[in-house]
Structure 1
Amino acid sequence: MDFIYNYIIAGGSGFYEVAYSDLFNMPNVVYFRNYIDGINSKIKRLLLRVNFNLKVNKLIRTPLGKLVYPWLFPHSFKENRPLCFIFFGTQFAIINTSYLNYLRKKYPNAKLVLYMQDIIASLPYYDIESYKKRFDLVLSYDKGDCERYNLEYYPTPFSKIDIAKLPEVDEDIDVYFCGAGKTRYPEIFKAYIRCKNQGLKCKFFLMGVPLDKRIDGEGLVYDKRISYEMNLAYAAKSKCILEIMQENADGYTPRLWEAIMLNKHLLTNNSAIKYGEYKNLDSIHLIDECSSLDFINDKVFYSEEIKEKKLPINLLFKIDSL
């Protein structure tokens, strides 16, 4: 299948950079980790930061817009196709300015797409109804948000992982978790205690758990930030990845994709998995339905077909078709 569009992706770093890495060498795709990516001039970078600074914009909306807009997301393509700009929801500083109007004038035939990869309820300052009017297409990874706001559903893509290129981790880990506590930390602790009671070795990196709510235990690490590559390294050393959903979330999370790409068990409280395309996989286990965690030592294998479906190129095919 050939593409209709050349894609300029205003994406993100960390997780996003890894998840979309398969696209980086495609001739019809340019991926940007942030809005100063691809701009070498220190002066231009400084002026861009001033222009899109959220505090500055509360006083004066994009004061340097006419000057700096043409610098953003530099691109050139060998084949002359229509342009499609994809903005991740993380690009809040950009999508709330007149830059989108600038793109409409400069590229009247271009399409503008927004892809939300976090639940909208956790982002009260995002005006999703306004975005639906300003973009040609708005997608979300969350089925519930798609139903609530009439968005197009598409689960978060994920590229294949080269384990040999990950940092080294010298630990034996049975069950691994990394994430913010948010409102889910009681469930995370409940899962931890259950794992420890069955003699399993845990490694949990937890951010933002209130001091008076924390528990002590081997393998619990609080408020230590690690890179996404290091997170994958720990996951690769584990036998099972733990997934505890955010409150009100109704979609698949990166922990499922990590389990698939790294061939790991997934222990999850995401009941939606029972009804989706992964319901019959022996290596995905619902916490409430597991009488034992003895499966931890069973070998895990996910087919290449399942992995291929997760690749980010399929997101571009989807957008092309829409």
Structure 2
Amino acid sequence: MFLILDNASPLFLKLMSSDNIIVSHQYKKINIFNRALRKIIVSFLSIDCSLFYENWKNSIADFSVIIIYAYRNNIDVIKYICKKKQPDQRVIVWYWNPIFRCVHPDLIKDLDCELWSFDFNDCQCFNLKFNTTYYFRNLELPQSSIEKIDVFFCGLNKGRKKILDSIQEKMVENDLLYHFHVVDEQLPVEEQKPRLSYQENLEYISSCKAVLDVLQEGQDGMTLRVMEALFFQKKLITNQLSLVKADFYHPNNIFIIGKDDWNNLKSFMNSPVFHISEEVKYKYDFFSWIERFGEKASL
């Protein structure tokens, strides 16, 4: 049995769950006051924080593998599980974001757990084990009433505004219809765009020809946007140069900023999407991801 502790959307939690996999949020849903209290306790006090945890804390011993998603402020959860783990259990901390946006490996490397990441550079720099990003092959795009567009981007600013502005200029120069939904939490609240639900995100993907993927500085791991383009047979525009080595790379499908000529963007957008085999896609399916953690983690 597997226990996966994530803070993902309800849709993802549902898709990850099966007879052998229990998926839960790490923390109980609490009000703003209690969130602030939890942050103080985690950051400054060395006391038991388990009163804030979901019910998984009562059944840790029932699982052979526990996968904890690394966040910036969940070191208490990792320490708690490592302290409670049985000798025959595996505890895996999964870095699904770059190291600089998560709990630093140096803070947990001496705990009884395995550290894995989707980012190959981080794996080399911090001696982590590598696994790919994953997606869900049984997830289908919804019917969308959103007007058809050429290029779609959705994400937090995260220091990407300058490059997004320059890409926007290229969209205009090539007469491409685009929608960039950039959430900038540094702006005054009244000027911020609301976060899209994942269902809303899927509706935009359903209506677009290409998904735009802009990596954060220092990142080199396949993002969710790369997976969305792959699984939904959309074109991908990205600044991730290493994707040219990916087993699903094809110049008809992936336009790489910094490698490909912007003058060829329009012809790229008008070319047919090259079909990627189901065998290749299956490598990036959630259940293949589980299997790659090793024989003891096989379903």
Aligned: 1:199 with 2:169: no
Paired position in structure 2 for 1:112: 91
CA distance in 1 between counterparts of 2:37 and 2:64 reads 24
CA change 1:315–1:263 in 2 (3 A) is same
Task: Summarize the Cα distance change of 1:299–1:97 in structure 2 as closer, same or farther, 3 Å threshold.
Answer: closer
Amino acid at match of 2:286: P
Partner of 2:46: 61
Counterpart in the other structure of 1:84:
65
| Higher normalized contact order (CA 8 Å, seq sep 6+, divided by chain length) | 1
Q: How does the TM-score come out when normalised to structure 2?
A: 0.83
Aligned residues: 288
Assess if the C-alpha contact under 8 Å between 2:39 and 2:73 holds in 1.
Answer: no
Unaligned runs of 5+ in 2: none
Residue 295 (structure 1) aligned with residue 276 (structure 2) = no
Instruction: Please give the alpha-carbon distance, in whole angstroms, between the structure 2 residues aligned to 1:186 and 1:69.
Output: 39
Q: Over residues 19-75 of structure 1, what are the superposed CA-to-partner deviations in whole Å (9 max), with x where a residue is unaligned?
A: 565431x221101133338xxxxxxx79xx67981113345433564x777943555
Instruction: Report the Cα distance in structure 1 between the residues aligned to 2:37 and 2:79, rounded to whole angstroms.
Output: 11
Residue 129 of structure 2 is aligned to residue 152 of structure 1: yes
| Aligned twin of 2:238 | 268
Deviation at 1:193, TM superposition (A): 1.0
Q: Please give the TM-score of this superposition, normalised by the length of structure 1.
A: 0.78
Residue type matched to 1:146 in 2? C
Do 1:140 and 1:154's aligned partners in 2 also have CA atoms closer than 8 Å? yes
**Counterpart code for 1:92:** N
Q: Which residue of structure 1 aligns with residue 16 of structure 2?
A: 23
**Alpha-carbon deviations, 1:135-181, whole Å to 9, x = none?**
431100101100000101112111125435x3733211101011122
Closer/same/farther in 2, CA of residues 299 and 75 from structure 1, 3 Å limit: farther
Is the Cα–Cα contact under 8 Å of residues 175 and 203 in structure 1 kept in the other structure?
yes
Matched, 1:312 2:286: yes
Instruction: Tell whether the 8 Å contact from 2:24 to 2:56 is kept in structure 1 after alignment.
Output: no
Q: Percent identical across equivalent pairs?
A: 21
Structure 1 residues not aligned, in runs of 5+: 1-5, 38-44, 212-220
Helix, strand or coil for the counterpart of 2:22?
A: strand
CA RMSD, Structure 1 to Structure 2 (Å): 3.2
2:212/2:238 contact within 8 Å kept:
yes
What amino acid maps onto 1:9 in structure 2? I
Does the C-alpha gap of structure 1 residues 283 and 101 become closer, same or farther in structure 2, counting only changes over 3 Å? closer
- Give 2:125's aligned amino acid: R
Partners in 1 of 2:231 and 2:250 — Cα distance? Answer: 17
Shift of 1:190: 1.1
